[in-house]
Amino acid sequence: MVKLAKIRKTSLSKSSQAWVRRQLADPYVAKAQAAGYRARAAFKLLEIDERFHILRGRTLVADLGCAPGSWAQITAAKGMLTVGIDLLPCDPLAKVTFIQDDFTTAQGLQKVLHALGGQQPNLVMADMAANTVGHKETDGLRTQALTELAVDFALNHLAKGGHFTTKIFMNGYENTVKKQLTPHFARVQLFKPKASRSESRETFLVALGRR
């Protein structure tokens, strides 16, 4: 995690300076640094697990959009074998195979399946968001496309009895996805962790018990 206090504001744009100020004021950033997590996002998964026990009994994990690796830190610490993929590089972790590639391509998908060794993961997790272009509707559609791919991966590769969670933006599409997943899982629910910023439209869809 970047030591924000050491960043010289004079070298940053106004938008970047605003980001730094927000990070410095965010208690979850300080908590993540104190706990040794790579990002504040770790607390989102911990809250999801506290509410739904999504990590209990899991052994093989697919982590889609894994950088910088804070969710994989948690699964690895619990002894799970994890395969993560992201466009960005991740520093190595024991029990984790990091793949630097594009999950949205056939090549990236095949690398994930190969790393899983022909086995079906019993947990699929995706904390993905598209790179923003500054246009609200476009950014929403780009992230929605990633959610669709994560859902497709879970429906095609998640083991029976497995769990699935993915980031999703609240724009009406979340109800469509919930309806899509309901026949395939014992329980499907939307959940916004406290670690998700209140001004953000993000929430998480949690699907338990693949039928």
Q: What is the pLDDT along the chain (211 residues), one digit of tens a residue?
A: 544 444 444 555 554 454 455 555 578 899 989 999 999 999 999 999 999 999 999 999 999 999 999 999 999 999 999 999 999 999 999 999 999 999 999 999 999 999 999 999 999 999 998 776 565 665 667 778 999 999 999 999 999 999 999 999 888 889 999 999 999 999 999 999 999 877 788 999 999 999 9
Check: CB of residue 80 under 8 Å from CB of residue 60. Answer: yes
How many other C-beta atoms lie within 10 A of the C-beta of residue 122? 20
> What is the value of pTM for the model shown?
0.86
Residue in this structure with the two tokens 């506290």, named with its chain if needed: 50
Per the DSSP assignment, residues forming a β-bridge with 125 are 63, 165
Which of 44, 167, 178, 192 is labelled catalytic? 167
Check: CB of residue 3 under 8 Å from CB of residue 22. Answer: no
Cα distance between residue 143 and residue 64, in whole Å: 13
Angle ∠(52,53,58) on CA atoms, nearest 5? 135
Structural domains of the chain in order of their starting residue, each with its CATH number: 1-36 (no CATH), 39-210 (3.40.50.150)
Could you confirm whether 95 is annotated as catalytic? Answer: no
190: left (phi over 0), alpha (psi -120 to 50) or beta: beta
